[in-house]
Amino acid sequence: MNNPKPVENKNNQAFAVSANHPLAVEAGMDVLKKGGNAADAAVAVSYVLAVVEPFGSGLGGGGAAIVLQDGKAMSYDYKEIAPYSGETPEIQAGIPGFVKGIEKLHEDYGSLEMSELMEPAIKLAKEGFEADQYLVDRLQAASYRISKSSASPFFNEDTVIKVGETIKQPELAETLERVKENGAKDFYEGEMATELSQALGVEKSDFQRYEVEKEPPVESTVFGYRIFSAPPPLGGTTLEQILKLAEMFDLKNIEPDQADFPHSLGEFIKVAYEKRLDTVADPRYFSKDMDKLVTDSYIESLKEDLDLSDLPSDVLLEDSTADKKGYDNTTHFVIADREGTMISATHSLGNFFGSGTMINGMFINNSLSHFSTNENSLNKKEPGKRPRSHSSPMILASDEKLIGIGSPGGKRIPMILSQVLLRHIVYGEELQEAIDAPRFIIEGNKIYVEETMSDDIIGELSQRGYDVYIKENPFFYGGVQALVVDEENNQVYGGADRRRIGTWDAKNEH
């Protein structure tokens, strides 16, 4: 599916989906065409992604979503948690939140039957789909840690399937059928909860006690937009801090295609990332005031930690196994419906394919590796606690535009999204142009750049003291998916990252 042109939002009847896989976009659009709303489409998209992009998300993982409806925003955190029993599975698996989170979104906003919305995923699991290059590449990269006996749909004996082969997942189809028939109740309280808890070596009560966290999002104002993003322990606070620092230092006076852009933005990123180590964690486990972290006065206080001289600063950006090893996989989608509701959601298994272990046809997460290895950290592992995450689903709203955006990328997500957003909302680049632009990733004094970065910028960064590395791996730089409802020009359009196989679609149908 090629990315289409913007569609006219005639009579406010336009609707759209942007996701990391074309089959997920197709499933979401089919739901919207039938009269379903954004939450209905989110169910279909989420479960289809679990089938066709099994390395990025699934029933064995979790996620987070921002919903904006009638001007009111709500955050849903259905990320994995540490078992309440105190047990730590050898594969570092947390109690999955995906199934309960999707059901909660549908319960609060959905209109069509859940069973109908799960059918596209069940059909794809039963009848199969063609393996794409993207999936095959991920399988080859992770094959050494995937249990091939349990993940047989993806291997011919010990060899990764080839591009174009049909992948059928009968065991996953059976699990999906059980969820369709019995809902989240079976997954968290019934026979399936018994099976999963025994397989993971935790208590069934660990599943029974799982709850979705529903609360107002982190909200601030920057560059004329109200921003709604995921609250701690998720990454929205960090991303908003980066954007507000960019506004405070008038970054619009710096050209995005000059070395000053990655240097200055890199310093904002470093300060925000360093501060998160002392301020961002599961708020149920300590008494810090999270709401103040995006206030103007707090952002002003961060200025003393900034060094915008030509020399790069070096700060600690990571304190968990996941960050140190660079676990970087999630998936993202955005949906906009006829009623003006928008959902921006990021789902994950932790690393690519999570732990690499399959149970009942689903890959199981390894998200407990996102807890700090430092016992004095706010992010240390405790029973029932959610580990810190960089997932940053976001919605921005102004009088003229509504923007939903997010990306995979692990610890790099706020870095990736800040670059794209600044190019679009500050420098006026078209959304797709901003997504396509060369990216950089800061890690201490090192800066990784895409091969499309100009030689002049690379040379100047080197002169300033950076160790510059050209890194060609497209997965390293995320996979941004976005939608825009443009009130000023009466259009709806999207953006999709060519670094992966994401796409988007929009229609105006009565």
Q: What is the dihedral of CA 191, 192, 198, 204, to 10 degrees?
A: -70
pLDDT-based confidence at residue 472 (cuts at 50, 70, 90): confident
Res 374: pLDDT: 87
Res 318: pLDDT: 61
The neighbouring-strand residues paired with 15 are 507
Res 410: pLDDT: 84
d(C-alpha 296, C-alpha 130), whole Å: 50
d(C-alpha 176, C-alpha 181), whole Å: 9
pLDDT-based confidence at residue 147 (cuts at 50, 70, 90): confident
pLDDT-based confidence at residue 286 (cuts at 50, 70, 90): confident
Class of domain 1-128+168-510: alpha beta
Residue 465: phi, psi to the nearest 5?
A: 110, 0
**Hey, what are 275's tokens?**
């501060």
Higher-pLDDT residue of 313, 431: 431
Nearest residue to 234 via CA among 294, 276, 292, 289: 276
Check pLDDT > 90 for residue 326.
no
Check pLDDT > 90 for residue 451.
yes
Q: What angle do CA 327, 276, 218 make, to 5 degrees?
A: 100
Res 468: pLDDT: 95
**Which position among 175, 238, 330, 341 bears the catalytic label?**
330
Q: What secondary structure letter does DSSP report for 360?
A: T
Check pLDDT > 70 for residue 311.
no
% of the chain surpassing 70 pLDDT: 95
Mean pLDDT of the region 283-305: 87
Res 315: pLDDT: 56
H helix or E strand, kind and range, residue 11? none
- Contact, 57 vs 46, CB < 8 A? yes
Res 1: pLDDT: 47
Indicate the residue type of 83.
Answer: P
d(C-alpha 274, C-alpha 70), whole Å: 36
Res 251: pLDDT: 86
Check pLDDT > 80 for residue 328.
no
Res 3: pLDDT: 59
Res 101: pLDDT: 99
65-87 pLDDT, tens digit each: 999 999 999 999 999 999 999 98
Check pLDDT > 70 for residue 122.
yes
Q: What angle do CA 478, 479, 483 make, to 5 degrees?
A: 135
* Residue-averaged pLDDT of the chain: 93
Res 439: pLDDT: 97
d(C-alpha 296, C-alpha 96), whole Å: 36
Question: Tokens 């010990």 appear where?
Answer: 158
Mean pLDDT of the region 265-283: 91
**Hey, what are 93's tokens?**
């698996």
User: What Cα–Cα distance (Å) separates residue 193 from each residue in 202, 247, 366, 382, 387?
Assistant: 10, 48, 18, 22, 22
Higher-pLDDT residue of 473, 497: 497
DSSP alpha helix (H) spans, 54-113: 98-109
Res 220: pLDDT: 96
49-59 pLDDT, tens digit each: 999 999 999 99
159: annotated active-site residue: no
349-358 pLDDT, tens digit each: 998 899 999 9
Q: Crossing angle, helix 38-52 and helix 22-33, to 10 degrees?
A: 150
235-271 pLDDT, tens digit each: 999 999 999 999 998 888 888 999 999 999 999 998 9
